Structure 1
């Protein structure tokens, strides 16, 4: 062993001794003679990655108004402990995509996380790197640093060579809602350049905690990989099933508790506005309240000046003045980031403000959809240089959210939303009377707004009149369930009948006329009447039904991994929203807004 190699090994030991609790050696070599410069660089890189993660302190909800924001303390990095940098600048360490799902999720058994195949074919023999400890996965939090130093037993596993260290192959651990296509899109690669030691489903959701090997560009610049919030704290999922929005706002006793606003439906309180937007967009009210408090202090205090009073979310556009438009903008923008990531249509961060970065910056591929949603929203509100601080700093958004609601990763469901390979597509019926022929006037298009996925289909009844004419045809239940909510043009049916809109399969029937509409609490069987199609409840050029669905609070695309199955009719996407159509065996219905013959659908 050379003097340089011995010195580098000494530095590794000093770095672990000098770092905070949690630093660990990832390998004890079986013989010192086998340690190469590539192996030393690998060890230093591993230690550097393990000491870069921040943790957050939790404050009580009551303390946010009176005390300073909680402190976000970054862990010391290897670069700070060693000078000069022992890694030659011209040589690249092994690129490894780290994944930190919620706490208490055991590591997947079988294939180790740190196995690279010699090529990207499924049948290739793996090359094993350092052994993997048996401790559970951890999320950003104080518990990550509470562990004492640990030593991995000696191993005779071959150490990485320099060619492997320069490889563009990366390891990725699948998450809730992943498909082969959206994983490929996040890495900027093609699905055929992803391999595994097992068959990969081509179109369905993947199960979480599976190891994939991804060959992708090595020159991409990424935003922070630190996860912010679980998915179920972005969408209106079970985490908010029993959340009392009114009590939270009144107890905080800030400007929001006394606020009222004139809307198209009359005078509304701040409580009513936040609740309505959360329900309409299926966005968790907790994220909306934390955002309002972070940007304008409305929850626990008072707005500072006219700008915070008129634009409580901080989107300074005169057309979006007032609480309702501000919160609706935030919900739509969060949806655009969340579902863009989920659907594989979003990879590069679309910064809104100038100056913009010279080179594209991408969302880090291991992030969950909820964290991308927040980064996406903040990329519209902040310059690209200020994005990290706005979210992760000690006075940033994550600190404010944690102060109000605690470290939600501690109680996050390891199953997430539950979009995985085991989730089956429910077969439902067409939402009208057997024997009738309705027109498919809208193929897959956004459920509620431009940010939501293409999860809705439009059906128009037969009629001799055009426009928003009164129809005596019945909209009928596509499945069994119970009516959990009604509104202007809206009927929500809970298919598992637990009277909880945030769990299981839930169906949205929109543009249902007020006259003869079913009330809340009605128990329905497939085929039972719900009401009549109309133009109520939104923009419409003619009487029709807008049908959509969600699962555990998340809107589901009409086509894709879990497509609608309406009496055997399966949707397909068009090149733009509202086009596309339905296919059943050899039959095709092509969407047409005028209800022409090729758009007819029937049992």
Structure 2
């Protein structure tokens, strides 16, 4: 399929106050609707019919239960030797193609099978691992390409999950409506291709002869892997405690915001410890301990990251998992450790990603899906219940009638005690 590539992406490096993830300027929620920010060069084509073809079930978009028996390396050895041979330096470490796919899929919680099918679909006659999606030099290499793809899929998926994605504007100006009956996973793929294609090519890509065929040829019918319901209607959060010692009070520095990148559900909250002295500000070595929210096993660690599996099966794609981000490597808990609620995990830091101050970023997943902190299943920590204000990073915690609002400034007003 001929690609009509068009890059209209800008990397925004925005600063935060004090301790917190890099915090964008306040503005309207992106869930109020997706509008292309750059003008379309081609003449607008008006409103056209969309597609109601179900490309994948929702469980094939997320890093979920259906991946429990999927062995990426064995698959690549048998079907994609180019992926095994591919090399790229990521964060000063040389990684193979399979390691990159695994890292991106787990970090963003996006299905590696889907990412590979998209690479195949967008590559043309020969597999293109350097720039299958975007030709912009800023996105050169498999890691940046897949990170963009995973972030884009998440944005489409979670926007659809809150019923805020109903129309799409393609690169040629054509506007299409998404049928109300279409599931979020398929809608996310439709959104993905709107950033790359005009109407005719878009119809092909999201129809039965598009990425569905590429997926089918490598992994069989995606519907055969469906896990339904992915999120049970009566799902409730297990008991969770605040991520620090009972006698401490940390600052609530960020309300509901994206769990990973800027396209995921607003599943994350940020907390910052009290600095040891006035001279300690920004990124500093904290003596305080991040503590486990609940009982569970440490199933993944990497730069600044700890993932805890609460159901004890050792697989982060099923049941409840907790992401702890910006945990310092020094004195960090070992992989495989079984933690009881309140056990020490490590020290808060700036390690592992964009941060302007020492803090902790925590988020929940269930069956691989990021669980928003501002929707039907609020983040409840030691009785403190989260809520959002419709603007990313803004929000509150409420307990026994007391309301504490998030603030990038550490003050008595945003300090939270168990």
TM-score normalized by the length of structure 1: 0.60
The separation in 1 between residues aligned to 2:225 and 2:412, in whole angstroms, is 53
Partner of 1:526: 341
Aligned residue in 2 for 1:256: 83
Q: Deviations over 1:191-244 (max 9, x none)?
A: xxxxxxxxxxxxxxxxxxxxxxxxxxxxx8651112110011110011112211
Q: Is the 8 A contact 2:51 2:179 kept in 1?
A: yes
Which of 208, 211, 222 lines up with 1:408 in the alignment?
222
Q: Which residues of 2 match residues 23-102 of structure 1 at below 5 A?
A: none
Pick from 338, 347, 351 the counterpart of residue 157 of structure 2: 338
Shift of 1:537: 0.5
How far the C-alpha of 1:291 sits from its partner, in A, is 1.1
User: Which deviates the most, 504-513 or 381-390?
Assistant: 381-390
Residue ranges of structure 1 left out of the alignment (5+ in a row)? 1-184, 187-219
Distance 1:535 1:548 in 2: 16
Q: Give the structure 1 partner of residue 356 of structure 2.
A: 541
The secondary structure found in structure 2 opposite 1:402 is helix
Q: 3-state DSSP class of the match of 1:486? A: strand
User: How much does 1:253 deviate?
Assistant: 4.2
Counterpart Cα distance in 2 of 1:578 and 1:309: 35
Please tell me whether residue 583 in structure 1 is matched to residue 398 in structure 2: yes
Say which one has the larger Rg: 1
CA RMSD of aligned residues (A): 1.8
Give secondary structure in 1 for the equivalent of 2:83: helix
Counterpart-to-counterpart distance in 2, 1:378 and 1:510: 31
Output one character per residue of 1:340-382: Cα deviation in whole Å (capped at 9) or x when no partner. Answer: 100222221142x1x212xx42211101111111111111111
CA distance in 2, matches of 1:480, 1:254: 40
Size of the alignment, in residue pairs?
Answer: 372
SS at match of 2:267: strand
- After superposition, give the CA deviation of every residue in 1:487-539 in whole Å (9 maximum; x if it has no partner): 11111101111111011000000000111111111111111111110001101
Q: Is 2:240 the counterpart of 1:428?
A: yes
1:291 is matched with which residue: 118, 121, 126? 118
Report the CA distance between 1:580 and its aligned residue.
1.4
Match of 2:130 in 1: 310
Q: Equivalent residue of 2:381, what SS?
A: coil
Check the 8 A contact 2:51/2:207 in 1, yes or no.
no
Determine if the alignment matches structure 1 residue 454 to structure 2 residue 274: no
Q: Determine if the alignment matches structure 1 residue 238 to structure 2 residue 65.
A: yes
- Tell me how far 1:586 sits from its aligned partner: 1.6
Distance of 2:355 and 2:416 partners within structure 1 = 20
Per mean C-alpha deviation after superposition, the further-off stretch among 520-529 and 341-350 is 341-350
Greater RCO, CA 8 A, separation 6+:
2
The whole-number CA distance in structure 2 between the counterparts of 1:384 and 1:437 is 54
| Distance apart, 1:385 and its partner CA | 2.9
Secondary structure class of the residue paired with 1:381: coil
1:78-133 alpha-carbon deviations (Å, 9 max, x no partner):
xxxxxxxxxxxxxxxxxxxxxxxxxxxxxxxxxxxxxxxxxxxxxxxxxxxxxxxx
Task: Return the TM-score normalized by structure 2.
Answer: 0.85
Q: Residue 148 of structure 2 corresponds to which residue in structure 1?
A: 329
Aligned residue for 1:372? 187
Change (3 A) 1:346 1:391: closer
CA–CA distance in 1 between the matches of 2:81 and 2:296? Answer: 39
Question: Which residue number in structure 1 is paired with residue 298 of structure 2?
Answer: 483
Select the residue among 206, 226, 232 that pairs with 1:419: 232
- Find the aligned partners of 2:154 and 2:380 in 1 and give their Cα distance: 24
Matches within 5 A, 1:153-232: 222-232=49-59
Which digits, 9 at most, give the CA deviation of each residue in 1:539-589, with x for residues without a partner?
A: 111111101010000000012111111111111113421111211122111
Gaps of 5+ in 2: 1-31, 34-46
Contact 1:230 1:416 survives alignment (8 Å): no
Distance in 1, matches of 2:208 and 2:243, equals 50
